[in-house]
Amino acid sequence: MVDVHVITKGNRHLYERELDEHHQIRHRIYIEELRWRGLTPRADLREYDQFDIPEAVYLLGIDKGRVVGGLRLLPTTGSHLIADVFSRFASERGVPRQIDIAEWTRIFVVPERREEHGGSKVGSTVIASMIEYALQEGLSGISVFMNTFWLPKFLKYGWRVRPLGMPDVHDDEWLIAVLIDVTPQALAGIRSACGLEHRSALVRQGMVTPFIPGRVNVPAVA
């Protein structure tokens, strides 16, 4: 069973080893495997970009001490990918910039945990945990710039997903920027579509910094 740890400014000192492992995995996946053109190989074999900022939140899937998957969330009020680099993909509805909207980037699953029984359980657990985390933090939406092949999957979860602009080709891929509504139905929908249990995989250790500055998180009562 994968636990999904919430790593923020306030508790990242508890996760130095896991964060470093995650930057190594990102180097293997985004630079060596996917060869993203915007990224250059690094001598230390760790991938960082300009958005690995203190405000970034990492949700890391950890199984028996090893990082097996993860993603990154950024506040949309500051620097983020759609606003700084790909705003032309948001030309219809504009770039969402709200304290209760996060931008989702850098989803990954380590190669050895992909394609478990038609679709990666690690991947769907990390994504479902992102929606659950967003609900707990009082977020209304998640923006993401992604390959268009994700869109039918999200719609199959019953998610409300609105495009921000037209899809277009960039580096030989069809890409699109969208805004996903964060609702309890979105969480229930992905769990039911991916055959996940209706229980949380999220782990919060230490001082977790609230996503919305100053907000006091009230733990959900089951």
For residue 139, how many C-alpha atoms fall within 13 Å in the half-sphere facing its CB? 32
Q: Which is nearer to other proteins, 47 or 137 (CB)?
A: 137
Instruction: Establish how many alpha carbons lie within 13 A of residue 13's alpha carbon, considering only the half-sphere containing its beta carbon.
Output: 4
In 3D, which of 125, 135, 142 has the Cα closest to residue 198?
125
Residue nearer to other proteins on the CB measure, 18 or 132? 132
3-state secondary structure 40-51: CCCCCCCCCCCC
Instruction: Work out how close the CB of 160 gets to other proteins at its nearest, in angstroms, rounded to a whole number.
Output: 8
Pick the closer one to other proteins by CB: 84 or 173.
173
Least distance to other proteins from the beta carbon of 63, Å?
21
Q: How many CA atoms lie within 13 A of 112 on its CB side?
A: 5
SS3 11: coil
Min. distance of Cβ 121 from other proteins in angstroms? 12
- Interface residue list for other proteins (CB under 8 A): 91-92, 118-119, 132, 135, 148-149, 151-153, 155-156, 158, 163, 165-168, 173-174, 176, 184, 187-189, 192, 198-199, 220-222
The backbone torsions φ and ψ at residue 53, rounded to the nearest 5 degrees and listed phi first, read: -105, 165
**212 DSSP 8-state letter:** S
The answer to whether 14 and 4 have CB atoms below 8 angstroms apart is no
Q: How far is the CB of 214 from other proteins (least distance, A)?
A: 21
> By C-beta, is 84 or 92 nearer to other proteins?
92
Q: How far is the CB of 55 from other proteins (least distance, A)?
A: 26
Instruction: Give the nearest distance from C-beta 6 to other proteins in angstroms.
Output: 17
Residue 189 and residue 18: Cα distance in Å, rounded?
30
Between residues 19 and 187, which has the closer beta carbon with respect to other proteins? 187
Quick one: 54 or 118, whose CB is closer to other proteins?
118
